[in-house]
Amino acid sequence: MMELKNTVLGIELGSTRIKAVLIDERHLPVAMGDHEWENRLVDGVWTYSMEEIHSGLQACFAALRADVKEKYGLELTRVGAIGVSAMMHGYLPFDKDGKQLAEFRTWRNTMTGPAAEKLSELFRFNIPQRWSIAHLYQAMLNGEEHVKDIAFLTTLAGYIHWQLTGEKLMGVGEASGMFPIDSAARDYDETMLARFRELTGVDLRTILPRVLLAGESGGTLTEAGARLLDPSGTLEAGIPVAPCEGDAGTGMAATNSVRVKTGNVSAGTSDFAMIVTDRPLGVHREIDMVTTPDGLPVAMVHCNNCTSDINAWVSLFSELCELLGQNVPKGELFTRLFRKALEGEADCGGLLSYNYFSGEGVTDLDEGRPVFARTPNARFTLANFMRTHLLSALATLKIGLDILTQEEQVPIERLYGHGGFFKTPEVGQRMLSAAVGAPVSVMETAGEGGPYGMALLTAYMLWKDEGETLPDYLDRRVFAGARSSTLKASEEEIAGFNAFLERYRKALPLEKKAVEVL
């Protein structure tokens, strides 16, 4: 019999899916629910409406309730604890009465260049355009009327946590995407707070969420919070809630990559590589310094664009199947096309693509235009076509990782992959290995990604022993017997990726011209 009090729930609001994963005391998924959604470009701003956020969260939870009912014959009245995660960064400002002051500006927006540049210089610390502090300062530079009324500034995860518990707080990993963190203090950097106060007159301590570490209590589910998740009235209030985290932190937890010198790559709508470091690094525009859920410094290479262009092409092929009278499920079509890429030439036969739906900081683009190009004598096969799009999804990530490995001498001995890019066995794993020239491991839970990682962080809060660290908890209790696969690309595949990347770099002016003329 399933004992619901001995389960924990992780929910993550990703870019294209909201997903809930319920795990048991063995840390294994026992039920799931999800809801598909997509950001919209409204007046030049990538956003989700508050109505979409609420209805999507409820649809996801309803799907989870239905899964629990179908599998176990139980009503989902309560769980041991709940944790919520979401895509990091962005801008959600509220006034003292809780009124939303501006449309949610997601991580995807690249409209904060002047602010990011000024703050990076002021702090002597790289501030990417998608960070919350860059959005806030840019709104100040723009003279936006609402800025004077901000009483609380948060992220999507921070907003959901606030609505569930009434608490204005977040985990340190999520906070590190709002404002720089001092890893010694495990809190916002006081020196940088003071510099911002001198620059603007704003005391950020009064408007930013409180910072907590993994394992600390994030409050309890209120009656209003229970109704937000479950309007049916079935879910009970009073359930413990873990500090919310960002998708970077949940990815680290899901792949057991929270110790120094471990690393992981999360690949979905966006992709990012994270390496836990043992020392400060130089300032690089292409590298963010964030933290693990327990506050250790992490070098992150973040790319705005990964699988959106692949998804668009698969949708086109799906239309073709329908035209031919073939009802091929989307999941099967993805699997078959991904597998076809393994038959492609290592360098993609002369084909080239840029997957930029939006701007890309690593390659200095404020906007994106998806582009596919080939020479007349290129070998235009389906296998080469699919391989091109898979390698293109990793190309910008590779450019950033080269800075870590070559300029900062950060070794990459093995990476763990997770997210939708790795859902088809071997394919994404082999492509990433070709990109980094190192073995890539994928756990059997890799396709669950963030919500599973959030569930693990929630389990740590609920079930850890006194004094037990997060790395030890994951090592001993979660991953000691976990099944995973590890492979390394062949020398030919590595050389092929490098040849593709050289062609990709040389033709970048083509993408920049596309932004100008399209």
- Helix/strand/coil (H/E/C) assignment for every residue in 114-157: HHHHHHHHHHCCCCCCCCHHHHHHHHHHCCCHHHHHCCEEECHH
Within a domain: residue 303?
Answer: no
Residue 313 sits in the same domain as residue 235: no
Residue 210 sits in the same domain as residue 321: no
Tokens of 255: 């792949």
Looking at residue 445, its pLDDT comes to: 60
Residue 208 sits in the same domain as residue 340: no
Residue 153: name the closest of 225, 86, 112, 102 by CA.
102
- The amino acid at 208: L
Looking at residue 443, its pLDDT comes to: 81
How many helices (H) and strands (E) the chain has is answered by 16, 22
Inter-residue contact 385 to 345 (CB < 8 Å):
no
Looking at residue 448, its pLDDT comes to: 60
Report the alpha-carbon distance of residue 460 to residue 242 in Å, rounded. 9
Within a domain: residue 286?
Answer: no
Within a domain: residue 114?
Answer: yes
Residue 436 sits in the same domain as residue 462: no
Which residue bears the tokens 């904060």? 112
> What proportion of the chain, given as a percentage, has pLDDT over 70?
99
- Angle at Cα 115 formed by Cα 151 and Cα 364, nearest 5°? 135
Tokens of 437: 């020239």
**Which are the contacts of 248, defined by CB distance < 8 A and separation ≥ 6?**
88, 173, 177, 266, 272, 274, 290, 298, 300
Looking at residue 505, its pLDDT comes to: 97
Tokens of 93: 């400002």
Inter-residue contact 122 to 49 (CB < 8 Å):
no
Residue 241 sits in the same domain as residue 333: no
Tokens of 500: 């593709």
Residue 392 sits in the same domain as residue 328: yes
Residue 180 sits in the same domain as residue 92: yes
The enclosing domain of 366 has a CATH number of 3.30.420.40
Looking at residue 307, its pLDDT comes to: 94
3-state secondary structure of 235: coil
Report the alpha-carbon distance of residue 34 to residue 346 in Å, rounded. 36
Inter-residue contact 472 to 448 (CB < 8 Å):
no
Within a domain: residue 267?
Answer: no
Pairing type for strands 288-291 and 169-171 reads unpaired
Residue 35 sits in the same domain as residue 117: yes
Residue 209 sits in the same domain as residue 354: no
Q: Order across the sheet with 29-36: list the strands.
A: 29-36, 17-23, 8-13, 81-86, 245-246
Report the alpha-carbon distance of residue 101 to residue 148 in Å, rounded. 10
Per residue in 280-301, pLDDT (tens digit) is 788 888 888 999 999 999 998 9
Count up the domains in the chain and report the number. 2
Residue 159: name the closest of 209, 112, 204, 232 by CA.
209
3-state secondary structure of 405: helix
Per residue in 323-382, pLDDT (tens digit) is 999 999 999 999 999 999 999 999 999 999 999 998 898 898 989 999 999 999 999 999
Buried b (16+ CB within 10 A) or exposed e, 272-295: bbbbbbeeebeebbbbbbbbbbbb
Q: Residue 149: count other Cβ atoms within 10 Å of its Cβ.
A: 13
Residue 318: name the closest of 306, 332, 305 by CA.
332
Within a domain: residue 273?
Answer: no
Residue 56 sits in the same domain as residue 187: yes
Looking at residue 16, its pLDDT comes to: 87
Within a domain: residue 280?
Answer: no
Buried b (16+ CB within 10 A) or exposed e, 392-405: bbbbbbbbbbebbe
Tokens of 515: 């932004």
Residue 183 sits in the same domain as residue 328: no
Within a domain: residue 298?
Answer: no
Tokens of 341: 């890429």
**Which are the contacts of 246, defined by CB distance < 8 A and separation ≥ 6?**
85, 86, 87, 88, 89, 155, 157, 171, 173, 174, 177
Instruction: Give every residue of the chain whose pLDDT is below 70, as ranges.
Output: 445-448
Within a domain: residue 262?
Answer: no
| pTM beyond cutoff 0.85 | no
**Which are the contacts of 31, defined by CB distance < 8 A and separation ≥ 6?**
21, 22, 64, 67, 68, 71, 72
Domain span at residue 493 reads 308-445+488-517
Residue 471 sits in the same domain as residue 418: no
